[in-house]
A and B are shown apart, each in its own frame.
Chain A
Amino acid sequence: MGTYFVRRLLTAIPTLLAISFVIFAILDLAPGDPTGTLPPQIKMEVREQIRKALGLDEPFHVRYLLWLKQFFINEPLNIIEQVFNVQIGDSSNRLRVTSWSSRGKPVVDLIVERTPQTLWVVGFAYLLSVLIAIPLGVVGAVRQNSIFDQISTVMAVIGYSVPTFFTGLLAIVIFSVHLKWFPSVYNTTLKVTDWASFVAQIKQMIMPVAVLAFFQTAALSRYTRSSVLDNLKQDYVRTAYAKGFREHYVVIRHVLRNSLIPVVTLVALGIPQIFAGAIITEQIFRVNGLGSLLIIAIQSFDIPVVQTTTFIFAVLIVAFNLIADIVYGILDPRITYS
């Protein structure tokens, strides 16, 4: 297990390097010029100086290595400094990845600002969908082909076929425009201080959370159902019944423990996906989270922000792949890593 973990960690590093290279190269090869959006009165010499100040006159590999150094050495050091309130080396002169717009703010600061909103909506939706999907999947499998199973199957296919940007808009039409129950725009400046603001926070969270959770629940409940179905056919279930255990005991104590192993890994693998998927939900309900940061950066050609956020999404994917693998190994003792 220990050596497997180390080896798995070591293969994650070249993967991340390859991904960072792909992201950097795509953005670098693309035509376009950060000075292109500046007013036309600015002279060519000044534009040249701006380009030089941004480091664009260096050759490709130098810029890539500098970006890597900033991302893997400078920024982590800054985070450590801020968290533990210590100073490491010459931190005031250390270069940071800064946004080209937003008055040159460090990209990491922008991301730190935007993360809580995303985590609140996305994280809550994901938690909710896990809590709903697992019981739904288990009951659907145990009572296979019952009315309940058939309805939940159809609902699940609808859930992952109807895009969130349609369910979101539909929810706005019904619940904000007609019924006026919930606000259609998510107000991120709202601070929860008393009961009234708490209610307002809950109200504005209901629609985005419900839309995301509906989509996530669909896929997860299908997966849980098929995993439980696989296990119900196993010999150990028959043995348990033969020993005279009741159905709910067999299902909860024997079947559930075994069938949740692949589900747990799927839940881990889904976390980075939902961050990226939340880009759309954030646009619908105007949540100014990580997704909207990326969209605005793309529209305003803010390459450092785009590079960093895209790469952070990639890091999340690789990290949760790793976590899923390791959790699988811990939960399932039958798996041996050789």
Chain B
Amino acid sequence: MSVQSGTAPAANIELTRELKKPHRTLWGDAWVQFRRNRLAMFGLIILVLLVLGILLGPIFYRVDPEHIDITQSNLGLTAEHPFGTDDLGRDTLARNLYGGRISLAVGVVAMLIAIFFGTTIGLLSGFFPALDNPLMRFTDMMLALPQLPLLLVIIMLFRDVLRSAFGPEVGIFMLIVFVIGILGWMPTARVVRGSVLSVKKKEFVEAAVNIGVGQSAILRRHILPNVLSPIIVSATLSVASAILTESALSFLGLGFPPDVPTWGRLLFDGKDFLTFTPWVVIWPGLFISLTILSINFMGDGLRDALDPRMRG
């Protein structure tokens, strides 16, 4: 360092001039790139609106989602019930807002579980050659399991045990989130392993090995930050797939109990009244679709934005 600072004053002037420009970071560049993608921005805006509506909506819209009023049943759009009411006179908007919280919570927590296992297995498998083959065979086996049938079976079989142990809502939430996460980490593991294998051969890793950095430090300090972008993309997309899976389970009647109105459950309950009150089905369906759609648009945008090769 001392040698460099002593030479070439002209270069120093260049450097100070350079510093006046705003500092460019990886995430800043990615954001610039992301903003250019119209569909991704559309997805982001829709998702932010949906999440804000679900989180803040119940503060302004104070209607009990469980309030039953038979005299107000099967109403269409009215001033009092903007989204109408169902066969028991419960307010559809309130139920959708409440259900959205659970659906989003399931999506996020299941994603965290899937990403935790996927990242761990991917990192270990990519970094330690001895673990690669057994872990990847295990991943292949997990991928060959029939997902939906197995989910249905596990939830059916363990539902009552967890319900009696943790209460009806928490027990089912834990079961659903855990099962979706545990059956959903495999794509992440594969992507992370692939990225680790390519990062591992880079010169800076070689340099770190040569100056005597320990294996766990290399993994944490040098490899993990460099495989973060595929993990982020994978996390985004797995929120969408977890929400979709939860609503599919609820739609088949094997998700949350009837008194917990998740979006899928609302669809399941409403499908028998399709002829009289189609809006009971259309609202939750629209919310699921919009959420998944915006997350998928965002995921595509993030993939392009975080890939330095795509930058123009």
Query: How many chain A residues touch the partner (CB < 8 A)?
Result: 43
Question: Would A298 and B156 count as touching, CB distance under 8 A?
Answer: yes
Instruction: Give the dominant DSSP class at B's interface.
Output: helix
Closest residue to B244 on the A side, CB-wise? A163
Which of A19-27, A58-66, A102-110, A126-134 interfaces with chain B? A19-27
Most chain B beta-carbon neighbours within 10 Å: one of A23, A177, A298: A298
Cβ of B271: which chain A residues have Cβ within 8 Å of it? 169, 284
Docked Cα-Cα span, A18 to B275, in Å, equals 47
Which of B2-10, B186-194, B211-219, B281-289 faces chain A? B281-289
Q: Give A140-164 as 1s and 0s: 1 = Cβ < 8 Å from B's Cβ atoms.
A: 0000000000000010011011110
Q: Are A314 and B158 in contact (CB under 8 A)?
A: no
Whether the Cβ atoms of B146 and A314 lie closer than 8 Å is yes
- Kindly state whether residue A135 has any CB partner on chain B within 8 Å: no
Does B51 make an interface contact (CB < 8 A)?
Answer: no
The interface-forming segment of A48-56, A187-195, A206-214, A275-283 is A275-283
User: Interface size (B, Cβ < 8 Å)?
Assistant: 44
Q: Is A310's CB under 8 angstroms from B149's CB?
A: yes
Which residues in A have their C-beta under 8 angstroms from that of B244?
163
Let me know if A124 is at the binding interface, CB within 8 A: no
- 1/0 contact string of A299-338 vs chain B (CB within 8 Å): 1000000100110011001100100000000000000000
Known: A27-B153, A30-B157. A298 touches B146 (CB 8 A): no
Q: How far is the CB of A122 from chain B (nearest CB, A)?
A: 14
Q: Is the CB of B274 within 8 A of A169?
A: yes
Most chain A CB within a 10 A radius of its CB, from B147, B149, B264, B292: B149
> Is B127 positioned at the interface, with any CB of A under 8 Å from its CB?
no
Q: Using Cβ atoms and an 8 Å threshold, which residues of chain B touch A177?
A: 274-275, 278
B45 contacts the other chain (Cβ, under 8 Å)? no
Beta-carbon nearest neighbor of A18 in chain B: B141
Q: Is the beta-carbon distance between B141 and A19 smaller than 8 angstroms?
A: yes
Task: Flag whether B144 is at the interface (Cβ < 8 A).
Answer: yes
> Is the CB–CB distance between A298 and B247 below 8 Å?
no
Say yes or no for A272: interface residue by CB 8 A criterion: yes
In the complex, what distance in Å separates the CA atom of A165 from the CA atom of B255?
15
Is the CB–CB distance between A321 and B144 below 8 Å? Answer: yes
The answer to the question of A87 belonging to the interface, with a C-beta cut-off of 8 Å to chain B, is no
**Alpha-carbon gap, A318 to B143, bound state (A):** 9
The contact of A173 among B39, B254, B278, by CB within 8 Å, is: B278
What's the nearest-Cβ distance from chain A to residue B292, in Å? 4
- Asked if B252 is at the interface of the complex by the 8 Å CB criterion, the answer is yes
Contacts of B145 in A (CB 8 A): 19, 22, 314, 317
Closest chain A residue to B289 by CB distance?
A162
Which chain A positions have C-beta within 8 A of B296? Answer: 157, 160-161
Cβ of A170 under 8 Å from chain B: yes
Which of A27, A158, A313 is within 8 Å of B293, CB to CB?
Answer: A158
Q: Is the CB of B153 within 8 A of A26?
A: yes
Nearest chain B residue, comparing its CB with the CB of A319: B144
A309 contacts B158, C-beta separation under 8 Å: no
Which residues of chain A have C-beta atoms less than 8 A from B248's C-beta?
163, 165, 280
Find out whether the CB atom of A317 lies under 8 angstroms from the CB atom of B149.
no
Would you call B54 an interface residue if the criterion is a C-beta within 8 Å of the partner chain's C-beta atoms? no
Contacts of B289 in A (CB 8 A): 158, 161-163, 166
Using A27-B153, A177-B275, A310-B153 as known contacts, say yes or no to A163 and B141 having CB atoms under 8 A apart: no
B267 interface residue per 8 A CB criterion:
yes
Interface of A toward B, CB cutoff 8 Å? 15, 18-19, 22-23, 26-27, 30-32, 154, 157-158, 160-163, 165-166, 169-170, 172-173, 177, 272, 276-277, 279-280, 283-284, 294-295, 298-299, 306, 309-310, 313-314, 317-318, 321
Q: A160-B296, A295-B252 are in contact. List 11 more A-B contacts (CB 8 A).
A: A15-B144, A154-B39, A157-B39, A161-B240, A163-B289, A166-B286, A276-B148, A279-B148, A294-B149, A298-B156, A317-B143
The 5 closest A-B CB pairs, nearest first, are A30-B157, A313-B146, A166-B285, A161-B293, A161-B292
**Could you show 13 A-B contacts with beta carbons less than 8 Å apart?**
A23-B153, A30-B158, A32-B160, A163-B247, A165-B285, A166-B286, A166-B288, A170-B282, A173-B278, A177-B275, A276-B148, A313-B149, A321-B144
